Amino acid sequence: MNRIGVIGGGTMGAGIAEIAARAGSEVIILERDTTAADTARRRIEKSLARAVEAEKLNRSAADEAVARIALTMSIDDLADQELVIEAAPEIESLKTEFFAKLDAIVAPETILATNTSAIPVIRLAGATTRPERVLGMHFFNPVPVLPLVEIVSTLKTDPTVVGKVTTYARDTLGKDTIQSKDQAGFIVNALLIPYLCAAIRMVETGFATTEDIDQGMISGCAHPMGPLRLIDTIGLDTTLAIIESLHQEFGQPHYAPPPLLRRMVEAGHLGRKTGQGFYDY
């Protein structure tokens, strides 16, 4: 697989496009307008510059990666891609719309993957006529730094498709892969997000301060960042969407979204991306 389409050039989509281009794939990113496309390109260039500064990449390899990435506002430009990875916001109706449109334009053998954080993949596969060629490819933020890709197979995904995508993630992108079944949250978010929400409940009840909770997990458990700063990095809206998916799937009280998380999202305090979350940026 050498021609990769990416739906959405946000934090995750831009990161996926960057690592695919660095690995030698030709990449085309779909964005909604020229402003969003410019932001996506700047995001990738900034990340590549950081990689060069950190001596993870040389300047010419970074320039070659940029040259392999095209941006478009027309989904029809993705018609020739061999693998399309959807990285749109966590809104199920938006994702199913993209899957239906992609299904209508790409070749029958094209594989459609989703980077959804928590939505069961079969629901997106159901919008296509090729559910056997649809699977989850779940990356972690920041994509160029964190080595994991969770590969999610639905009850209908063809095992040869799983093998092909796993090989691409591992051998071409250089990622570690794990295999998950198709349950909301998959493996990592089903463990991570309830922990993050438990930290929110500690703040909500006044049990401990934001700083002490974060310091506790950094100094006591060697986590690279505390849970509340991590929520700010993931985005409070995305965190809410994931815990809602888990609650819908399993129905247990510990998956109920903390009211404080909901209030902060309603107030537009989405974390790092809006400058305000559990911390100010």
Could you give the residue numbers annotated as active site? 117, 138, 150, 189
Residue 11 sits in the site that holds ligand 3HC (CB under 6 A): no
Closest C-alpha to 138, from 215, 268, 234:
234
Supply 54's token pair.
């950190």
Distance (Å, whole) CA 111 – CA 130? 9
Residue 89 within binding range of ligand 3HC, rule CB under 6 A: no
Q: What are phi and psi of 86, to 5 degrees?
A: -85, 125
Report the phi/psi class of residue 174: left, alpha or beta, with left for phi > 0 and alpha for psi in -120 to 50: left
Closest to ligand 3HC by CB, 83 vs 240, is: 240
Per-residue contact flags (x/-) with ligand 3HC for residues 187 to 226, judged by CB under 6 A = --x--x-------------------------------xx-
Q: Which is nearer to ligand 3HC, 72 or 183 (CB)?
A: 183
148-152/134-139 β-pairing:
antiparallel
54 touches ligand 3HC (CB under 6 A): yes
Eight-class DSSP state of 8: -
Give the SS3 label for residue 68.
coil
Among 47, 153, 154, 210, binds ligand 3HC (CB under 6 A): 47
Q: Calculate the alpha carbon distances from 76 to 8, 79, 214 in Å.
A: 14, 5, 45
Q: Please, which residue, 84 or 236, has the CB nearer to ligand 3HC?
A: 236
Q: Shortest gap between Cβ of 136 and ligand 3HC (angstroms)?
A: 11
Binding to ligand 3HC by CB under 6 A, coded x per residue (else -) over 148-167, reads --------------------
Number of other CB atoms surrounding residue 104 within 10 Å: 12
Smaller CB distance to ligand 3HC: residue 49 or 73? 49
Q: Which residues bind ligand 3HC (CB under 6 A)?
A: 47, 50-51, 54, 56, 117, 140-142, 144-146, 189, 192, 224-225, 230, 234, 238
